[in-house]
Amino acid sequence: MFVGGSVRGRLTLFASITMAALCLLVNTLVLIAVRETAEEYRSSDIIASALRVVHLIKRGALPSVLLTDAEGVQVLNSTGRVVSASPNLVGKTRLTAMTPQADNAGGTEERCDLPGFTGRCMIVASFRVYEDDGDWMVYTMGDVVPWYVNPAALAFLIGVSVGMTVVTWLGTSRTVARTLAPVDDIRAKLADISGSDLHQRVPVPPTKDEIHALAETANRTLDRLEAAVEQQRRFASDASHDLRSPITAMRAQVEEAMLYPDEADWERTGQALLASLDRLQAIVTDLLTLARLDAGAPAACDNVDLAQLVVAETSRPRGKRVASALEAGVEVVGDKLQLARLLTNLLDNAERHAESIVTVSLARRDGRAVLEVTDDGAGIAQDQREIVFNRFTRLDASRNRDAGGTGLGLPIAREIAMAHEGTLTIADSELGARFVLTLPLKEG
């Protein structure tokens, strides 16, 4: 199993081994077929030589030394004495005792133990000749066809196989190299991209294949990565600014009091410091909540009755009147604490911007739970309805009315909604802002 090395080398080696194995299989089948044909031809030739000797016997023209194409010939009379033989067998005794079957005049057999042919396997044809004094026997012999049939045929097949394997090696190597060239370009470009230079994109090959799809996917991933990094940069910048504000205020208050310690109102200074600490604590708490949501921290899977959750959250004292229209029995599956935080953030936001009343409605709609929180304030312009969900974003009106907001309440609410496979959007309203939360209903 070749694990290391390049893809080009592994594919080339695999293709070459496959071609070599295929050539070996084809050559084996060819040699088997050719050898069978050659053996049939050799047997026919040996039998033809034997029949010529039989013809000589019947004509009474059998010489004592037979000139023949066969490797060996012996003729035995009815008493078993050798009366004629090929030049290489003159003076030798009977080589074999094989005889044709009783109901047949001739037959062939392969023998590897014949005297005078040591180390050679022979095809022996035997024929019975009926004479007046009894049955004569004619034996003709020829070499068995070797497994490779002929050295020239074997060399030809080996040469063709080697040539096919070499061509496969070169062709596969060049084809894979051309195919993977865009991958090398993509890899080189990715190696050049750094965290401070994410605007570059990998080259997309013109061919509509898997590598084209890979390059497009890589570019889309880089787009998301660049957007995420840019968001993180803005987040860090905004967080540092919002954290710096209460810290700067606290430092100024302490320094002012220390300049005139005898004249300072330490109780008022302490209350101011506590207010700044509360704002600082709120920002840090929201940052930790967003960090857990971004990290995909596992949430509980509780059966949550949204109507009961709204009643619990709206029963707390608030600065504005809260009216509700709730459909009973609307249940979802999720983290009760997170959903309570989502609802609290929506109510707090509505309370900060409402003139006198906040309205909460809950209903089933198209197989989903729909929760709406509406205030009677100034509302949010169409082009700013997505901006308010950006982290540390507070519109000018919001900053003027509530300088203590963290700018993280609505982003946290949307993250919680998305974690529960829901949506949080701002819809049109005759008066004020209308936030619409949709969540999948509990099955069954």
Whether pLDDT at 201 is above 50? yes
Q: Are residues 257 and 364 in the same domain?
A: no
Q: Which residue has the higher pLDDT, 11 or 3?
A: 11
Q: How confident is the model at residue 196 (pLDDT cuts 50, 70, 90)?
A: low
Residues 423 and 382 in one domain: yes
**Model pLDDT for residues 46-93, shown as the tens digit of each residue:** 999 999 999 999 998 999 999 888 899 999 999 999 999 999 899 888
pLDDT at 401: 45
* Model confidence pTM above 0.85: no
Kindly state whether residue 136 falls inside one of the protein's structural domains. yes
Same domain (yes/no): 286, 337: no
Handedness of CA 181, 183, 186, 192 (dihedral sign): negative
Q: Are residues 124 and 30 in the same domain?
A: yes
Per-residue model confidence as pLDDT tens digits over 236-271? 776 676 677 778 878 888 888 888 888 778 888 888
Q: What percent of the chain has pLDDT over 90?
A: 34
Q: Which of 395, 390, 404 is nearest to 433 (CA)?
A: 395
Q: Is residue 181 part of a domain?
A: no
> Would you say residue 398 has pLDDT above 60?
no
More confident position, 142 or 226: 142
Determine the pLDDT at residue 405: 59
94 pLDDT more than 70: yes
- Band (pLDDT 50/70/90 cuts) for residue 395 is low
Q: What is the mean pLDDT of residues 143-148?
A: 89
How does DSSP assign 296-354, residue by residue?
Answer: T-----EEEEHHHHHHHHHTS--SSEEEEEE-TT-EEEE-HHHHHHHHHHHHHHHHHH-
- Looking at the fold, whether 267 and 320 belong to one and the same domain comes out as no
Helices marked H in 85-136: none
Same domain, 277 and 219: yes
Residues 310 and 289 in one domain: no
- CATH number for the domain that contains residue 223: 1.10.287.130
Q: How confident is the model at residue 2 (pLDDT cuts 50, 70, 90)?
A: very low
Asked whether residue 409 is domain-assigned, the answer is: yes
* Residues 31 and 16 both lie in one domain: yes
Average pLDDT of the chain, as a whole number: 85
Tens of pLDDT, residues 328-378: 989 999 888 889 889 988 998 899 888 999 999 999 998 899 999 999 988
Query: What's the mean pLDDT in 156-160?
Result: 93
User: What proportion of the chain, given as a percentage, has pLDDT over 70?
Assistant: 93
Say yes or no: 20 and 70 in one domain.
yes
Q: What is the pLDDT of residue 247?
A: 84
Q: Give the range of the structural domain holding residue 139, as residue numbers without chain letter.
A: 9-143
Residue 118 pLDDT greater than 50, yes or no? yes
Contact of 366 with 377, CB cutoff 8 Å = no
Same domain, 33 and 126: yes
Looking at residue 403, what is its pLDDT? 46
The per-residue pLDDT for 3 is 43
**Total structural domains within the chain:** 3
Q: CA-to-CA distance for 419 and 412, rounded, in angstroms?
A: 10
Judge if 101 and 49 occupy the same domain.
yes
